[in-house]
Amino acid sequence: MVKGRHKPPSRIRYEQSHPVSSCRLDKKTHDLLKQRLEYDGISFAQFVKSQLGVLKLKMPDIKKIEKEAYQKGYAKAVNGYRIQLECHKCRKPMTVIPNSKLHKVIRDHLEGLWGHTNCQERNRY
């Protein structure tokens, strides 16, 4: 009588506590299942457990994602559109807040002086 390959005791215990479950599916259903598992990024065992309610899959925290996206967009806008000047007394940088008194003074001061290079050259002659 031919004996099977030797299995370590830990493998025997694992196989006893984790029996194999399998099923036959038609090709269309199999492909749909495979696509679903790839989309969700989970194994077949995780899918079965989640459907039985044994495994609770962690859903992404939408509020956290929204907050992070807002902060990234806000930081990008601040860095791209803020006016930053150096204080004439202490030489530390200071940010001009949009629609503040200082912002209005700067805008009013530059209004008559600021323009396209071509427009300014035309007005010189």
Give a yes or no: residue 89 inside a domain.
Answer: yes
Domain that includes residue 14, residue range: 9-52
Both 120 and 66 in one domain: the answer is yes
Q: How many domains does the chain have?
A: 2
Cα distances from 65 to residues 53, 56, 58, 79, in angstroms, run 26, 20, 14, 21
Name the nearest CA neighbour of 106 among 89, 120, 94, 123: 94
Give a yes or no: residue 1 inside a domain.
Answer: no
Give a yes or no: residue 77 inside a domain.
Answer: yes
Q: In terms of C-beta density within 10 A (0-12 exposed, 13-18 middle, 19 or more buried), how is residue 50 classed?
A: middle
Phi then psi dihedrals of residue 86, to 5 deg: -100, 130
Bridge-based pairing state of the strands 93-96 and 83-86: antiparallel
Tens-binned pLDDT, residue by residue, of the chain (125 aa): 567 788 899 998 998 998 888 889 999 999 999 999 998 899 998 888 888 887 676 777 888 889 999 999 988 887 777 778 888 788 888 888 877 888 888 888 877 676 777 776 766 55
